[in-house]
Chains A and B, each alone.
Chain A
Amino acid sequence: MNALTGTGTLLRFVLRRDRIRLSVWTLALVGTVAATVPALDEMFATEAQRRSRAALMDTPTGIVFGGPGYGLDDYGLGPMVVNELTMSLLIALAVMNILHVVRHTRAEEESGRAELLRSGAVGPSAQMTAALATAALVDLVIGGLVAATLAGSGLAIADSAAYGLGLALAGIAFGAVAAVCAQVTGYGRGAAGLAFLAVGVLFLFRVVGDMAEPGGNALSWLSPFAWVQQTRVYDDLRWWPLLLYPLLVCLLFAAAYALAGRRDLGAGLVPPRPGPAGAGSLLRGATALHLHQQRGAVIAWAAAVFAFAAAFGTLSSEIDTMLEENPELGAVFLGGTSEVMAGYLGTMVSYTMMAASAYAVVSVLRTRSEESSGRAEAVLATAVSRYRWFGGALVVSALSSTLIVLLGGLGMGIGAAAAVEDSSWIGTMLEAVLAQLPVALLFTALTALVVGAAPRLVPLVWAWFGYSVLATMFGGLLGLDEWLVDLSAFSMLPLLPGGEFEAAPVAVAAAVAVAAAAGGLLGFRRRDLLPV
C-alpha cells in the first residue's frame, strides 16, 4: 500500500457527494459569463460608449474590480469581458475551491469521518489528493466552458483558451492555498478562515500594485489574481505568465503534503494546550455562551474588514493623479475629485455590507450546528428558555455585524481622510455605513425566521444573498430592469456618500427586520428541537 491507495475511490465518492453543489457552482459561473457577454456587447454598442466605459476602468473602482487595464485603448468586446468579469470570477473560484478543499480535508478529520476512512485500505495522502483533484477537475471544466462560451461569441480562440486556462489554474492555486491552511489548524472553520485571509491579502497585493502603476508593478506579480490578466488576452496575448501558476501550485502542494506527512490525524500544527479548569465569571447565561463561541470569528472578521476597508480608503489618494492623467474621466463624472471619490467609496460601502451580512447569516446559522450536534439540547435541558437561547444568538449576530459595519466605515473613513488630508471623511463614511446598517440586521432577522420557522428553507437566505451580490455588482452591466436590481438587499437603501439619504426605506427595512426576528423567535419556541 502506498500513500495514494484508494484515491480513485475517494475521488468518485467526493464527486458523488458534491454532485449538486459542484454543478450549481459550475452553472452559476459559466451562466454569468454566458449572460454577461451579449449584454456587454449590446450595452456598449457605440465607440463613444466603449471609450467612456474604458475611462471608468481607469478609476480606483475600475482597478479594484477590473484589473490592470490592458486593452483599454481599443476597448472591444474581448478586453471588456476580461476587465468586467475577471475579478468576480476569481473571487468566486477562490470561495469555491477553499470551501471544497477544506470540506474534504480538515472538516472530515474534525468530524471523525476521516478516521473511519483511513482505517480502511486508504493511503495517508489519498483524501487530500482526492479533494485537490476534484477541485482541479471542476476548475478545468469551468475554465473550458468559459473558453468555449467566449470563443462561441466570436472572440479569438487562442485568447479565449488562454483565459479559460488561466481561470482554471488560478482556481487550482486557491485550492492549494486551502490545502496548506488545512494543515495548520485543527478546525475546519479556522482553516477556511485562514485561507480566505491569505487569498484576501493576495487580492490586495494585486490591487495596490495595479494602482501604483498602469499594468501593475512587482507587488502585483506576487499575486495569482494578477497572472490571468497579465497574459493580456484579447490585446497582445502572451502565454508565459500562466507558467507562474503551476510553479506556485507545486510549491503549495509540496508544503501541504510535507506538513500532512509530519502530523497526526486530526492534529493541527499547534498542539492543544490545557485551558482553565473552570469557567470564568463572565461565562454565564446563553448569550455569554454564544459570544464565547463566536468571539474569535468576530474579531477575525472585524479586523479583516477594518484592514481591507482602510486599505481601499487609502487608495482614494490615487484619484487626483488619475484625473490629471486622464481628463476624459472628469467629463464622465461631471465633477471633481470628491464626486469620483464619493462614487468609489459608495461602492466600497456596498462591499462592507456584503461582508457584514455574510457574517450575520453565518452567525445565526451557528445555532443550526449547535442544534444538530446536540449541544443545543444540553443547554435547553437546563433552565434556559428557547427565547433566551435563540434570542441570545440573534443579539450576538446583530451586534457582531454592527461592529463589522462600523469598523468597515471607520476603516474607509480613516483611509480616505489620510489619503486626501480631510478628516471629515471619517464622519461621512460612518454615516454612510450606518444608513446601510439595517441591511445586515435584515439578514440576521431573515436567517432567524427560516431557522426558527422553516429550517429547510435555509438555502433561500443564501440564494437571496447570492442574488443580491450578483444584482448589485452586475445589475447595471446586465441591463437588469430597475425593479430586479431593487430586489437586491444591497441596492434597497440609499447608498452614501454620493446618494441622497431617505428615511422611509431605512425605517421599512428596520421594521421588517424586527418582524422577521420576532417570527423566528416564535417559530423556534413552537417547533421540535431537531433530533440528533
Chain B
Amino acid sequence: MTDTVIDARGVVKRFGRFTALDGLDLTVEAGQVAGFLGPNGAGKSTTIRVLLGLLRADAGTVRLLGGDPWKDAVALHRRLAYVPGDVSLWPNMTGGQAIDLLGRLRGGLDPDRREELLARFELDPSKKARTYSKGNRQKVALVAALASDAELLVLDEPTSGLDPLMESVFTRCVLEAKAQGRTVLLSSHILSEVEKLCDTVTIIRRGRTVESGTLEGLRHLTRSTVRASVDGDPSVLSGLDGVHDLSADGNRVSFAVDNDRLGTAVRAVGDLEVRSLVCTPPSLEELFMRHYGDELSALDGSGGERT
C-alpha cells in the first residue's frame, strides 16, 4: 500500500474553450479523510471524474493508489468505491438489485454489512428505483459503496439529499471507515460536516487549488474573532498591527485579528480593564467565505459561472 493515495499536480482539463481545471493540485495520504471544498462549478466533480479515469486530463500528472487512473482504470476501481453527486439508477430495477449489481461489478460486497447498512439507512431495497427520492437514491449508492471492502472511498457531495438523521448515520459510517484504515475523499458543501470529519481540507476555486492543509494549519493562517467587554477606551486597539473590522458599542468591543498577532491584541485588551473575553478561532465557513467573499459581492454583477 502506498502512502499517498491521491496525488494530482497541475491538472488541466478543458471542455472546448471552457477551462474546467486550471492547474489543480490535490494530495491525500492513506488513512486520511480529506475534505474537498468549492462552490458550484469550481471543478470538484470534474476532478473526481479525472481521478476515476472517466475524463482524461489535458495536462498535469495524476496518480491514484499508485497507478494511472486513465490506463489502469479497471485495476484501480477494484480498490475504490464511488458515490456520484447526482445518483441516477436504472428505473426498472429495485434498489437492492442496484446495490448487488454495483457491488458485483466492483468485485463483491459483504452481505452482512449490506444488511446492516440497509437497516441503518432505513432503506427499503425492494422498491423500484424510479419511486425513490433523491435521498433514497443516494442511500443506494452509499450502501453499495460502504458495503464494499474498498480501501478508498470517493464521495461526491454524498449527503446533499439526506435528512439530518441520515446525515449523522453517514458521519458515523465515515468515522468507522476511517477507523478501519480506509481513505476517504469527501467533496462537500456542508462545512460543518467537513469540520467534523476531515483531517485535511483542499479548497478549490475556478479549477485551481486556493488552500490546502490540515484544518488546524489553515486556521492558523487566518484571523480569529475577539469579543470583549472593557472599561477602558477601546480606540487604542485600532492602532494595532493585524487588527481589522474594529467596532465598539459602549463598553463592548469586537474585532478580527490575524492569528500571528493574536497575543499582542489580547495583551492590549487585557490592559483595558477587561471584564469578559471571548476568542473564537475561524470556522471553516469563515475560511471559505474569505476565499469566495469577493465572488459573493460580485454576484449581482456578472452572474457567475457554471460547469
Interface residues of A (CB under 8 A from B): 110, 186-187, 272-280, 283-286, 289, 292-293, 296, 373-375, 377-386, 528-529, 531-532
Pick from B54, B78, B90: contact of A383, CB under 8 Å: B78
Minimum C-beta distance from A151 to chain B (A): 49
Q: Is the CB of B128 within 8 A of A528?
A: no
Pick from A274, A374, A383: contact of B77, CB under 8 Å: A383
Q: Is the CB of A276 within 8 A of B107?
A: no
B162 touches A (CB below 8 Å) = no
With A383-B107, A528-B55 known as contacts, the answer to whether A284 contacts B90 (CB < 8 A) is no
Q: Is the CB of A274 within 8 A of B94?
A: yes
B84 touches A (CB below 8 Å) = yes
Contacts of B106 in A (CB 8 A): 382-383
| Cα-based distance from A286 to B101 in the complex (angstroms) | 9
Please name 30 pairs of A and B residues whose Cβ atoms are closer than 8 Å in the assembled complex, sorted by A: A187-B91, A272-B130, A273-B128, A274-B94, A275-B93, A275-B94, A275-B126, A275-B128, A277-B94, A277-B125, A278-B96, A279-B97, A279-B98, A279-B99, A283-B97, A292-B90, A293-B90, A293-B92, A374-B86, A374-B88, A375-B89, A377-B49, A377-B54, A380-B52, A382-B77, A383-B77, A383-B107, A385-B74, A531-B15, A531-B307
| Cα-based distance from A382 to B102 in the complex (angstroms) | 7
Contacts of A384 in B (CB 8 A): 74, 77, 105
Minimum C-beta distance from B70 to chain A (A): 10
For B97, give the chain A residue with the smallest CB separation: A279
| Cα-based distance from A296 to B88 in the complex (angstroms) | 20
B104 touches A (CB below 8 Å) = yes
| Cα-based distance from A301 to B78 in the complex (angstroms) | 37
For B13, give the chain A residue with the smallest CB separation: A528
For B73, give the chain A residue with the smallest CB separation: A385
Minimum C-beta distance from A329 to chain B (A): 50
| Cα-based distance from A273 to B90 in the complex (angstroms) | 15
Q: Is the CB of A378 within 8 A of B94?
A: no
| Cα-based distance from A272 to B130 in the complex (angstroms) | 9
With A276-B96, A377-B54 known as contacts, the answer to whether A286 contacts B88 (CB < 8 A) is no
Pick from B78, B105, B130: contact of A285, CB under 8 Å: B105
Q: Is the CB of A276 within 8 A of B126?
A: yes
For B20, give the chain A residue with the smallest CB separation: A531
Contacts of A373 in B (CB 8 A): 88
Interface string of B103-124 (1 = CB under 8 A from A): 0111100000000000000001
| Cα-based distance from A32 to B90 in the complex (angstroms) | 40
Interface string of B148-169 (1 = CB under 8 A from A): 0000001000000000000000
Contacts of B54 in A (CB 8 A): 377, 380-381, 528-529
| Cα-based distance from A104 to B87 in the complex (angstroms) | 25
Q: Could you tell me how many residues of chain B have their Cβ less than 8 Å away from some Cβ of chain A?
A: 45
Q: Is the CB of A381 within 8 A of B52?
A: yes
Minimum C-beta distance from B91 to chain A (A): 7
Contacts of B141 in A (CB 8 A): 378
Minimum C-beta distance from B85 to chain A (A): 9
Contacts of B131 in A (CB 8 A): 272
B22 touches A (CB below 8 Å) = no
| Cα-based distance from A186 to B131 in the complex (angstroms) | 11
Minimum C-beta distance from A456 to chain B (A): 12
| Cα-based distance from A370 to B78 in the complex (angstroms) | 21
Pick from A284, A385, A528: contact of B101, CB under 8 Å: A284
For A387, give the chain B residue with the smallest CB separation: B74
B46 touches A (CB below 8 Å) = yes
| Cα-based distance from A466 to B74 in the complex (angstroms) | 39
Pick from B56, B80, B86, B307: contact of A528, CB under 8 Å: B56
Minimum C-beta distance from A392 to chain B (A): 11
Minimum C-beta distance from B148 to chain A (A): 9
Interface string of B53-91 (1 = CB under 8 A from A): 011100000000000000001110110101010111111
Contacts of B25 in A (CB 8 A): none
With A274-B126, A529-B55 known as contacts, the answer to whether A378 contacts B84 (CB < 8 A) is yes
For A187, give the chain B residue with the smallest CB separation: B91
| Cα-based distance from A176 to B35 in the complex (angstroms) | 54
Contacts of B15 in A (CB 8 A): 531
Q: Is the CB of A276 within 8 A of B97?
A: yes
Q: Is the CB of A529 within 8 A of B49?
A: yes
| Cα-based distance from A378 to B156 in the complex (angstroms) | 12
Q: Is the CB of A378 within 8 A of B78?
A: no
13 more CB-based (< 8 A) A-B contacts, given A377-B49, A385-B73: A187-B92, A275-B94, A275-B97, A276-B97, A277-B94, A279-B104, A283-B104, A289-B101, A373-B88, A381-B80, A381-B84, A531-B307, A532-B86
Q: Is the CB of B88 within 8 A of A277?
A: no
With A275-B128, A276-B97 known as contacts, the answer to whether A531 contacts B49 (CB < 8 A) is yes
B172 touches A (CB below 8 Å) = no
Contacts of B90 in A (CB 8 A): 289, 292-293, 375
Tell me which of B56, B98, B99, B104 has the highest count of chain A C-beta atoms within 10 A of its own C-beta: B104
| Cα-based distance from A7 to B87 in the complex (angstroms) | 33
Q: Is the CB of A378 within 8 A of B104?
A: no
With A278-B97, A529-B49 known as contacts, the answer to whether A381 contacts B82 (CB < 8 A) is yes
Q: Is the CB of B84 within 8 A of A283?
A: no
| Cα-based distance from A489 to B271 in the complex (angstroms) | 93
Q: Is the CB of A276 within 8 A of B105?
A: no
For A288, give the chain B residue with the smallest CB separation: B101
Contacts of B74 in A (CB 8 A): 383-385
Q: Is the CB of A378 within 8 A of B49?
A: no
Pick from A277, A285, A531: contact of B96, CB under 8 Å: A277
| Cα-based distance from A374 to B52 in the complex (angstroms) | 14
| Cα-based distance from A141 to B126 in the complex (angstroms) | 49
Contacts of A186 in B (CB 8 A): 130
B220 touches A (CB below 8 Å) = no
Contacts of A377 in B (CB 8 A): 49, 52, 54, 84
Minimum C-beta distance from B130 to chain A (A): 7
Pick from B55, B91, B101, B124: contact of A283, CB under 8 Å: B101
Q: Is the CB of A378 within 8 A of B88?
A: yes
B127 touches A (CB below 8 Å) = yes
Q: Is the CB of B127 within 8 A of A274?
A: yes
| Cα-based distance from A280 to B130 in the complex (angstroms) | 19
Pick from B73, B94, B130, B154: contact of A276, CB under 8 Å: B94
Contacts of B89 in A (CB 8 A): 375
Q: Is the CB of A292 within 8 A of B94?
A: no
For B91, give the chain A residue with the smallest CB separation: A187
Contacts of A379 in B (CB 8 A): 102, 105
For A274, give the chain B residue with the smallest CB separation: B126
List the 5 closest A-B pairs by CB distance, nearest first. Answer: A279-B100, A382-B105, A275-B94, A381-B82, A277-B96
For B125, give the chain A residue with the smallest CB separation: A277
With A187-B91, A384-B74 known as contacts, the answer to whether A283 contacts B100 (CB < 8 A) is yes
Minimum C-beta distance from A479 to chain B (A): 45
| Cα-based distance from A276 to B96 in the complex (angstroms) | 7
Minimum C-beta distance from A12 to chain B (A): 26
Q: Is the CB of A378 within 8 A of B96?
A: no
| Cα-based distance from A286 to B130 in the complex (angstroms) | 21
Contacts of A296 in B (CB 8 A): 92
| Cα-based distance from A461 to B254 in the complex (angstroms) | 69
Minimum C-beta distance from B216 to chain A (A): 32
For B76, give the chain A residue with the smallest CB separation: A383
| Cα-based distance from A531 to B91 in the complex (angstroms) | 20
Q: Is the CB of A279 within 8 A of B101?
A: yes
